[in-house]
Amino acid sequence: MTPSLIPLAAAQKSAEVTNWPGRIAWVVGLLVFVVFVYWLMREGWKWRGTLQGDLPELPAAPADPGEPRLTLSGRYHGSTTAGQWLDRIVARGLGTRSRAELTLTEQGLDVVRPGAADFFVPVTALRGARLDKGIAGKVLTEGGLLIVTWEHGDKQIDSGFRSDRAGEHPAWVEAINQLSTTEHTTSTTEHTETEGAR
């Protein structure tokens, strides 16, 4: 290296950090900000759960749920108010994402969730199923989610599931729609006959 290039090379070296207190204060400030944002999210989650406190306890599976028609292993991605894919429901543990084992029988849909609250949707509460691509902060490819619509209390709920084998989804949509339509038609007929007998 020629003598004239030596000062230029020395000038290109990074300057040593001399303002350590300023750097430390900046890092601490960033950590405090991250913790504050996390706290706000947690409080918002608790507040939403309080607002949804009127949601009844989730039904448990009957002692004899019947012969399985379909089973599915996959993930539970959350629940929302039916038709409003961003209105997340967090009450009664429905906001907790988890693994899920689904079993569909003549009596309803049994949802077993390791590490989270299990729940059971009676066949009389099933309102249908469809394929969709998103629910409450989870967006997948078109048809990547199995959405089951059911009624609990006075609220209709959409719950999103994704099978480990997405090719199973259409069979589930068909079976749930058939089961819920048959049950709803039967219930309506029985109600009409009862009213007519009075």
Is the domain 70-197 a CATH 2.30.29.30 member?
yes
**Lowest-pLDDT range, 20-24, 74-78, 128-132, 181-185?**
181-185
Distance of alpha carbon 172 from alpha carbon 189, whole angstroms: 25
Cβ neighbours for 68, distance < 8 A, ≥ 6 positions apart: 103, 104, 105
Contact 152, 79 (CB under 8 A): no
Q: How would residue 184 be classed by pLDDT, with cut points 50, 70 and 90? A: low
At residue 14, the pLDDT reads 55
Task: Extract the tokens encoding 61.
Answer: 């599976």
Distance of alpha carbon 155 from alpha carbon 71, whole angstroms: 26
Q: How would residue 46 be classed by pLDDT, with cut points 50, 70 and 90? A: low
Q: Which of 64, 117, 110, 75 is nearest to 92 (CA)?
A: 117
Global pTM reads 0.69
Which one has a higher pLDDT value, 153 or 44? 153
Question: What kind and span of H or E run contains 4?
Answer: none
* pLDDT tens readout for residues 131-164: 999 887 778 888 899 999 999 988 999 999 999 9
Query: Mean per-residue pLDDT for 89-116?
Result: 93
* C-alpha count within 13 angstroms, C-beta hemisphere, residue 131: 16
- The distance of Cα 103 from the centroid of its chain, to the nearest Å, equals 18
Task: Please give the single-letter amino acid code of residue 119.
Answer: F
The domain limits of the chain are 19-51, 70-197
Residue 72 has phi, psi (to 5 degrees) of: -150, 135
